[in-house]
């Protein structure tokens, strides 16, 4: 049985701030023992799509960077380039990714560590990992900058996901550590049964110039698999690589369908890819922190963030990625849904109802696939002990400074001399507060 350490999201003091709780859990779960002096430590995060607002705030990353430096480690903050995913991607090259994440507040100055795009300029810098134990993938390609790290800490925002059904630790490393071709692989590009190349294609449904997306559709596929002619719209199956750029357009307009069980198979492949990431670094050198806060129905990789589907569930830490995701799922299932969220629209408000199968998935795909596959392929166990951690009594580790206000400001106030005007400020001696209390 794996151990998962947990703290709630309530705060009333220095040592119960969410940043302090994250650091407390880091030690409680033994993640501090992973780092030896001189180790290069990859902090794997999701930096958020352009105009997404639910991603983890940079302050969490900065606090973790400082913690790792204090242990003698050499931290780097890592992410990878994405597939297009949409007609207007913002993170599919290293240049675009760095521009987008800087806008989201992730800069070397803010984080106190370099930001490394671990798979290179367009995502081709990778290491092949053999996966004989994989559920569906038998090989995978992991970003070189992550594969060569001594330690990896996955700092995860737990939330929903349109393809994985939920996005937890397994998704963070499964998708986020894969290179471009690794992502094409885990999204089953070219697969004889589940790949987008096998989908049904109904060009007679194309409205041509009358469609508001027509001009976008003309330049949609980076591989030239979708071609418009005067008479029809062609789909060259042999050219489709499964990059997903077309899905928000041709799928939504009803021309191109998704293969049966595509989402189920992709959820399983995500976990195979996660296993490859841990094999690359070393499973015994990987630790996991998941912050179940601002639990939006879809991932931080979309260009917006909907209202959370459940209230904040707290903070989790573990050495087992399957267990930590299972713990987060259980907490979400036990929770009531958030009023006026998609949980209400989908009938998932009651405790005991799975939240992500209803709200994260397009079509009700089971949220159990990821942890079940993870257990089956030996990544971890679904059996866990949830250990509630108490805040530290000593607030000192979480203070900005240990110099009291009087010692810090007494001398400059005295030297400035006029910090308080002679005779005081101009104000009324008394006002009628009762009058302004009334509605």
Same domain, yes or no: 128 and 269 = yes
The reply to whether 312 falls in a domain is: yes
pLDDT of residue 86: 82
- Rg for the chain (alpha carbons), in Å? 25
Residues 418 and 321 in one domain: no
Position 396 scores a pLDDT of 94
Task: Please calculate the CA angle 201-207-211 and round it to the nearest 5 degrees.
Answer: 115
Q: What is the domain extent for residue 431?
A: 406-437
Residues 217 and 184 reside in one and the same domain? no
Residue with tokens 């049966």: 260
Query: Strand 74-79 relative to strand 115-117: parallel, antiparallel, unpaired?
Result: parallel
Q: Measured between alpha carbons, how far is 206 from 204 in angstroms, rounded to an integer?
A: 6
Q: Say which residues have a Cβ less than 8 Å from residue 287's Cβ, sequence separation at least 6.
A: 26, 29, 30, 31, 34, 151, 152, 153, 154, 317, 318, 319
The verdict on residue 432 lying in a domain is yes
Per-residue pLDDT, 100: 95
Check residue 340 and give its pLDDT: 96
Residue 312 CB partners (closer than 8 Å, separation 6+): 9, 292, 293, 294, 295
Q: If DSSP codes are grouped into helix, strand and coil, which group holds residue 386?
A: strand
Give CA–CA dist 360/356, Å, rounded.
Answer: 5
DSSP assignments along 222-267, one per residue = TTS-EEE-SS-EEE-GGG-----TTIIIIITTTSBPPPTTHHHHHH
Question: What's the structural domain count of the chain?
Answer: 3
Residues 64 and 124 placed together within one structural domain of the fold: yes
Q: Which stretches of the chain score pLDDT less than 50?
A: none
**Residue finishing a domain among 225, 251, 277:** 251
- Specify the CATH number for the domain of residue 206: 3.30.70
User: Per the domain annotation, does 398 fall within a domain?
Assistant: no
Find out whether 79 and 176 touch, Cβ atoms under 8 Å. Answer: yes
Q: Are residues 12 and 103 in the same domain?
A: yes
297 falls within a domain: yes
Q: 6 in a domain, yes or no?
A: yes
Each residue's pLDDT tens digit, 78-95: 999 999 888 888 999 999
Q: Assess whether 101 and 210 both reside in one domain.
A: no
Q: Are 271 and 244 within one domain? A: no
Same domain, 173 and 215: no
Q: Look at residues 122, 135, 121 and name the one whose alpha carbon lies nearest to residue 174.
A: 135
- The answer to whether the beta carbons of residues 130 and 139 sit under 8 Å apart is yes
Tell whether 139 and 77 lie within a shared domain.
yes
Q: What three-state secondary structure class fits 33? A: helix
Tell me the C-alpha to C-alpha distance, in Å, between residue 213 and each of 85, 89, 199, 247, 255. Answer: 16, 16, 20, 12, 12
**pLDDT at position 417:** 87
112: domain CATH number?
3.40.50
Q: Are residues 225 and 368 in the same domain?
A: no
Strands 314-318 and 126-130, bridge-based pairing: unpaired
Element (H, E) at 369: helix 369-376
Other C-beta atoms closer than 10 Å to the C-beta of 425 total: 6
- 270, 161 Cβ separation under 8 angstroms: no
Three-state DSSP at 365 gives coil
279 and 182 inside one domain: yes
Tell me: do 132 and 241 sit in the same domain.
no
In angstroms, how far is the first alpha carbon of the chain from the final one? 57
pLDDT value, residue 418: 84
Quote the pTM value. 0.94
How many whole angstroms from its chain centre is CA 330? 19
Helices 321-334 and 369-376, packing angle to 10 deg:
150
C-alpha triplet 135, 165, 372: angle, nearest 5°:
35
Residues in the chain: 439
Q: Is residue 396 part of a domain?
A: no
Domain membership of residue 256 (yes or no) is: no
Q: Are the CB atoms for 259 and 125 separated by under 8 Å?
A: no
Around 307, how many Cα atoms within 13 Å sit in the side-chain half-sphere? 11
| Domain-embedded: residue 29 | yes
């Amino acid at each position: 049985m794996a151990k998962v350490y947990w703290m709630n999201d309530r705060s009333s003091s220095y040592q119960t701030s969410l940043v302090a709780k994250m650091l407390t859990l880091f030690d409680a779960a033994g993640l501090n023992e992973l780092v030896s002096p001189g180790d290069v430590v990859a902090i794997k995060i999701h930096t958020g799509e352009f105009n997404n607002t639910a991603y983890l705030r940079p302050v969490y990353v900065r606090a973790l960077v400082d913690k790792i430096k204090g242990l003698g480690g050499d931290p780097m903050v890592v992410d990878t380039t994405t597939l297009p995913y949409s007609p207007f991607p913002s993170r599919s090259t290293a240049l675009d990714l760095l521009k987008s994440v800087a806008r989201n507040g992730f800069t070397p100055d803010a984080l106190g560590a370099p930001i490394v795009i671990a798979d290179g300029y367009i995502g081709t810098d990778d290491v092949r990992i053999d996966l004989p134990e994989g559920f569906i993938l038998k090989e995978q390609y992991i970003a070189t900058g992550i594969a060569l790290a001594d330690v990896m800490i996955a700092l995860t925002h737990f939330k929903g996901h349109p393809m994985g059904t939920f996005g937890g630790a397994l998704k963070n490393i499964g998708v986020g550590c894969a290179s471009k071709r690794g992502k094409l692989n885990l999204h089953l590009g070219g697969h004889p049964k589940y790949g987008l190349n096998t989908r049904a294609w109904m060009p007679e449904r194309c409205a041509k110039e009358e469609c508001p997306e027509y001009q976008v559709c003309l330049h949609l596929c980076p591989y030239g698999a979708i071609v418009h002619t005067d008479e029809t719209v062609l789909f060259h199956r042999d050219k489709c690589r499964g990059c997903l750029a077309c899905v928000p357009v041709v799928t939504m307009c009803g021309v191109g369908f998704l293969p049966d069980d595509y989402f189920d198979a992709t959820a399983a492949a995500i976990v195979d890819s996660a296993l490859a990431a841990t094999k690359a670094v070393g499973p015994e050198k990987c630790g996991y922190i998941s912050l179940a806060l601002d639990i939006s129905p879809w991932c931080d990789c979309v260009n917006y963030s909907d209202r959370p589907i459940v209230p904040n569930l707290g903070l989790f830490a573990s050495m087992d990625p399957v267990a930590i995701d299972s713990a987060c799922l259980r907490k979400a299932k036990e929770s009531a849904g958030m009023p006026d969220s998609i949980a209400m629209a989908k009938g998932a408000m009651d405790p005991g109802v799975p939240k992500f199968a209803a709200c994260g998935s397009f079509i009700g795909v089971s949220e159990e696939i990821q942890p079940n596959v993870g257990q089956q392929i030996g990544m971890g166990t679904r059996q866990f002990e949830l250990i509630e951690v108490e805040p530290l009594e000593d607030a000192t580790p979480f203070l900005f400074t240990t110099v009291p206000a009087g010692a810090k400001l007494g001398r400059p106030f005295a030297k400035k001399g006029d910090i308080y005007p002679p005779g005081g400020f101009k104000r009324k001696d008394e006002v009628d507060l009762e009058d302004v209390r009334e509605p």
